[in-house]
Structure 1
Amino acid sequence: MQKTTALRTQALKSMNGDSLVSIISTTHEVQSRHHSLLESLQTTLELEQLLSIFAQHIVPMQLCSSLRFVTDDNAFTLLHNQAAEQSDGDIHQHTALLYADDLYLGQLVYNLRRPLSAAVRRTLDGLHRQLTFPLRNAMAHGQARQQAIRDYLTGLGNRSYLEEVLQHAIYQQQRIQTPFGMLLLDLDGFKAVNDNLGHQHGDEVLKSFGTLLREHLRDCDQVFRFGGDEFVILLEDTSLVGVQYAFSRLQNALQRNTGLAPYNLTMSAGAVMLGADDSVHSVLQRADEAMYSAKNNGKNQLCCRCK
């Protein structure tokens, strides 16, 4: 609550006299009207698609050089015409704070070519009121989706989401031959942490290891908790050499991590490349076999199992 209030206060202070309006919609008010924009917005629960639909209704009005939707955690650029901003001289800002039944959703920030007339302001207010409840539903859907696909402990993708992403990656590999590599990692020595220090301590180690993985991989790489102390990394547009390099980088990062070093943990891993005739099951099976070969051969190493 303090973060939300601070952000809104900061937005108010940064306006420097430019227009600000709060759009506080109620369910009854919106349901009592029938508009084509509202119908369009109700066709999707995907937040970015919803915002795109709204932006396309703003374009014909030729009001702004840019439009953003800003929440407490994120910012989406809906429209941006850099050339128009450079040629228009002074930029007039208009910000609308959006609420649905007293729930704060975020704010629409317009960079305008000219100050709003009273008539245009009323038109915008009406459009904003139509946006509020589809926006609330899309944001709730997104939050529920994130909860369904995230591991409760580490915040990484869970096994169910891994299988979904793997299926899509196999499709990409088959259709446009995008090379994907995969690592299945197991933390050597983690059982001793649980046995000697307790499961709560072990949970903290897993969370720290999950953070380490995210910090030492590319933005396009995806990380999942497979179960227990096993993790999967899917590396897009990567050769087998690239997969091996990624494992080496993670090994070094684990050894240098001051928070995890006292536990004397190492990693055993299986590496595979996705094949055109693979299934989710076959990829995971090959990776699992390779990982256990690494553990049986002395641990703290990588074993590749490619076709």
Structure 2
Amino acid sequence: MPRTHSQPMTPLSMRQLLLISAIDDNGSLKRASELIGMSQPRATKALQEAEEITGTKLFNRTNRGLNPTHAGESMIRHAKTILSQLKEMEEELRTASDSGWAKLRIGTIMGAVPYLTETISTYLRRFPRTSFEILEDTSVELFRQLDRGMLDLIIGRSSMIATPQLYHVTAFHDERLAVVANPAHPLIGRTRVRLTDLEDARWIVYTAAMPMRLLLEQEFRQAGLGMPRGLMETRSALTTISLIQADPNTVALLSSDVAAFFVNFGMASVLPMHLRSKSEPYELITRRSVELPPHALAFIEDLVAGATTRL
């Protein structure tokens, strides 16, 4: 019998939360039950009971396994958050008794990596007994990991999600852009380079719909040019610089912070171009529903203070 909204929901058991999370990870009730040490008949019953408790279907059976419904996606997100918070609590208790060590889990988009590493270096001078776990990915994936409790905070862009009201969002650093090329590129040495000069170049770009990719497409439209063909798409800074190193004719649009890092080590040169499009600022993002520990708040202070110093 479906549960009415006026009825309080009976809490799910830890086993049910583990099962729901494992089904999402594996797409199979059989593999999920094996992973958490539960017999398949018992797992089937546990899932049925979870659906009775929530009053809705959580998974659809398909030829490819179990796919979550909209309600199931919500349940998975909350289950993973709860499990992650329990794991985080265990780590905090262990580190608290281990001479005051702390851990921070941070996600960042590629453009902010140099800025983040500077902040970490500053922070460690004040709090050396801190370990870090750093994930570099797109804003969309970082939000996914933040929602699941796998990260404490992220540096990304809230424009990439539909529910920014669920987060504390602080814009703290404007991103500037630069077009970089191999130091042996034929246009290196010019006092000015126009987009028309790079119309036939081999461009290394972000995947479709990513902010920096959209900015590049906008630049070409404003110049009355079509987007070049033969693009090389990647989300990896290492892949980008490796491709630039391998071919003198390749170019890429990067954040000026990342570009400066490569230039300082002689791996790339910045082309003297004027870009009309403006990038969105970096944003510091945390979940409203989660109270951060003191060491995370201290790191946020360093991050924002560093941005102010750079202005």
Bigger Rg, structure 1 or 2: 1
The structure carrying a bigger strand percent of its residues is: 1
Q: State the TM-score, normalizing by the size of structure 1.
A: 0.28
Structure with larger RCO (C-alpha < 8 A, sep 6+):
2
Q: State the TM-score, normalizing by the size of structure 2.
A: 0.28
